[in-house]
């Protein structure tokens, strides 16, 4: 999720059909510069070296949980005729991605890149703050969907819940004080003051901080090999 | 395999490779939205959700597979949602 505003200008983006380090390359319609979809950096063209601002989003969540928390949400609708030939072509392309996700290869183009610290296709939550990168393997959230940690000395809460598939990263400082969180139930956590927080909306629902909202931080869900390839200096969270 | 393709074999992987023409996968430039009640999504359908300034948009990941990028505005923030 990126801002389309850069240095006072507004850009729109398309799919270049190219891959760099085996991930999607976007282009902007205004200058046709090429941009990495993983880092938000322009890798070729007039804007080479510029970085798009990364914004916080819910990278993946089931529709039921999203809707329950945000009943007024709008939903993307693509008015296409399902019998249109172009859809068939898209579905063929989708199939090639499906094979990729199912197989052990790390590159769509059949190349291999490996960082043996985790399995190539272990899914991780990637967090970047200032110059520090840290990966939180999905497997670390087994019994405890809430992790209290620090990255670049910023106290953060990393949340990943298997049932709703929701992932969120928050700054766990509230009113100048870093709080410690423990999982309560579903997507709710309780802090050291006994306040209950909804980790989908970031809002405190009961207790001392009721009505306060945690600050969302950007993160990305992706395969370990891809995270490690773009950020070889990354550390891995260990319990 | 042509000689050109062979020359591009580069195990650092930093070569930019071309798989499809520009816009071979059509990004969405003018997204249309419906209310939650009108969305034809199953309870377990995966979506990407954004929430800026009290406004929320959800994007079905199944739809994003065919478009990969949505150029959007949410709560006054101009965003590119990518998948």
CB A58 to CB B11 under 8 A? no
Instruction: Give dist(CA B57, CA A155) in Å, integer.
Output: 28
Domain ranges of chain B: 33-83
Of the candidates A186, A193, A187, the residue with the CA atom closest to the CA atom of residue A209: A193
CB A73 to CB B49 under 8 A? yes
pLDDT at A42: 96
Mutation target for A interface from B78, B80, B83: give the one with most A CBs within 10 A: B80
CB B51 to CB A15 under 8 A? no
Spell out which residues of chain A touch residue B20, defining contact as CB-CB under 8 Å.
Answer: 15, 17, 93
pLDDT at A218: 92
Mean pLDDT taken over chain A:
88
pLDDT at B7: 33
* Run of H or E including A71: none
pLDDT at residue A5 is higher than 70: yes
The structure tokens listed for A218 are 């950007």
> Given pLDDT bands bounded at 50, 70 and 90, which one contains residue B42?
very high
Mutation target for B interface from A7, A58, A70, A75: give the one with most B CBs within 10 A: A75
Instruction: Give dist(CA B27, CA A2) in Å, integer.
Output: 15
What is A60-239's CATH number? 2.102.10.10
pLDDT at residue A84 is higher than 50: no
CB B49 to CB A10 under 8 A? no
Of the candidates B33, B32, B25, the residue with the CA atom closest to the CA atom of residue B67: B25
pLDDT at B14: 75
Q: Point out which residues pair with B50 in neighbouring strands.
A: B57
Q: How many helices (H) and strands (E) does chain A have?
A: 3, 23
pLDDT at B23: 94
In tens, the pLDDT along A113-163 reads 678 899 988 999 999 988 899 999 999 998 889 999 999 999 999 999 999
User: What stretch(es) of chain A map to CATH 2.102.10.10?
Assistant: 60-239
pLDDT at residue B4 is higher than 90: no
């Amino acid at each position: 999720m990126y801002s389309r505003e850069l240095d006072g200008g507004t850009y729109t983006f398309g799919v270049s059909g190219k891959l760099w380090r085996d991930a999607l390359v976007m282009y902007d319609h205004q200058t046709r510069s090429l941009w990495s979809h993983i880092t938000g950096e322009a890798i070729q063209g007039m804007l080479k070296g510029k970085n798009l601002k990364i914004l916080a989003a819910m990278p993946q969540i089931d529709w039921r949980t999203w809707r329950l928390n945000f009943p007024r949400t709008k939903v993307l609708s693509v008015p296409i005729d399902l019998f249109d030939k172009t859809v068939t072509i898209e579905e063929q392309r989708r199939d090639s991605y499906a094979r990729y996700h199912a197989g052990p290869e790390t590159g769509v183009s059949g190349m291999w890149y490996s960082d043996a610290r985790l399995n190539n296709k272990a899914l991780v939550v990637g967090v970047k703050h200032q110059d520090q990168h840290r990966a939180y393997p999905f497997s670390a959230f087994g019994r405890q969907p809430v992790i209290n940690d620090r990255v670049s000395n910023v106290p953060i809460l990393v949340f990943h819940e298997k049932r709703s598939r929701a992932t969120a990263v928050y700054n766990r400082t509230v009113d100048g004080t870093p709080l410690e969180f423990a999982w309560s139930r579903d997507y709710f956590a309780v802090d050291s003051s006994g306040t209950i927080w909804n980790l989908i909306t970031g809002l405190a629902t009961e207790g001392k901080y009721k009505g306060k909202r945690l600050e969302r931080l950007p993160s990305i869900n992706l395969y370990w090999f891809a995270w490690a390839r773009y950020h070889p200096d990354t550390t891995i969270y260990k319990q | 395999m042509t000689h050109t393709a062979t020359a591009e074999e580069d195990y650092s992987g930093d070569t930019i490779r071309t798989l499809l023409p520009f816009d071979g996968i059509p990004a969405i430039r003018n997204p249309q939205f419906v209310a939650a009640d009108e969305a034809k999504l199953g309870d377990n359908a995966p979506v990407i959700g954004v929430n800026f300034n009290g406004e929320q948009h959800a994007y079905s990941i199944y739809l994003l597979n065919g478009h990969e990028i949505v150029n959007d505005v949410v709560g006054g923030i101009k965003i590119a949602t990518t998948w």
